[in-house]
Amino acid sequence: MRKELFVVLIAVLALVGASGCATKGFVKTNVADVSDRMNGRIDAVSKSVEETQERTRQNETRIKQVDQRAAAADEKAGTAGRAAAAAQADADAAMARAGAVDRAARKLVYEVVLSDAQGRFGFGKADLSDGIRARVDQMIEQLKSDPQGVYIEIEGHTDSTGPAELNKQLGLERAESVKRYLYEHHQIPLHKMNVISYGEERPVATNDTRDGRAENRRVVIRVLA
């Protein structure tokens, strides 16, 4: 009986040992498979990262090239703009010199003064009154004999009340009002007229009295031929 039990025990131990060996082999096999799959995935991820880095590097290179071309284009545009501005300034200066020479070569035919003392301009205003319009119309009647052969200079003046810069602007607005009237109502070509503002710089009377200030608020029209 003991002998039989001993044989059975030996068989059981052998079976357990064999089962343990089989289990270890199975584990090793599965661990190897998992390791291979993980390594494959890691390799795939690494390759994807490398490809992404390469695309990023290429994009950065392209962006840098685009930025360089844009900067070069901006520089060329800036150079062209400065050249155009310089050319325009030269043209304006040439036109001004030509106009100055043309005016210097002309002689004064007559002069018309439209002053506030005559009820022409209100304080701080540039609008043309009926009196101014009538005086300008009378002047044009005198030009009908040869309207194309004259050149008209229009000067705007103010008194010394208020800031000098505002007076300079007000004088210009008064002169421009006369110029616009001549163009719109009498078809005097714009290139035949020139406006300038002296503001308070050239008074013809004292600015210490009301009557003197009224005389200084004026527009002077000079007809040259």
pLDDT of amino acid 12: 47
106 or 3: which leads in pLDDT: 106
pLDDT, mean of residues 130-143: 85
> Is the pLDDT assigned to residue 26 strictly greater than 60?
no
> Is the pLDDT assigned to residue 174 strictly greater than 80?
yes
Q: Are 204 and 216 in contact (CB under 8 A)?
A: yes
Q: Are 207 and 159 in contact (CB under 8 A)?
A: yes
What span, in angstroms and rounded, lies between the C-alpha atoms of 47 and 131? 92
Question: How far is the CA of 184 from the CAs of 140, 179, 198, in angstroms?
Answer: 13, 9, 24
pLDDT, mean of residues 26-43: 62
pLDDT, mean of residues 3-11: 53
> Is the pLDDT assigned to residue 9 strictly greater than 90?
no
Lowest mean pLDDT among 47-51, 120-124, 183-187: 120-124
pLDDT, mean of residues 83-102: 60
What span, in angstroms and rounded, lies between the C-alpha atoms of 113 and 133? 13
- Find all residues with CB under 8 Å of 188, minimum gap 6, and list them: 140, 147, 152, 182
Percentage of the chain modeled with pLDDT above 70: 68
pLDDT of amino acid 142: 80
What is the residue type of 115? Answer: S
Q: Give the pLDDT confidence of 202-219 residue by residue, as tens digits.
A: 999 999 999 899 899 999
Percentage of the chain modeled with pLDDT above 90: 29
- The tokens for 121 are 């301009």
pLDDT, mean of residues 158-183: 94
pLDDT of amino acid 130: 83
- Alpha helices (H) along the chain: 2-105, 130-143, 164-186, 210-216
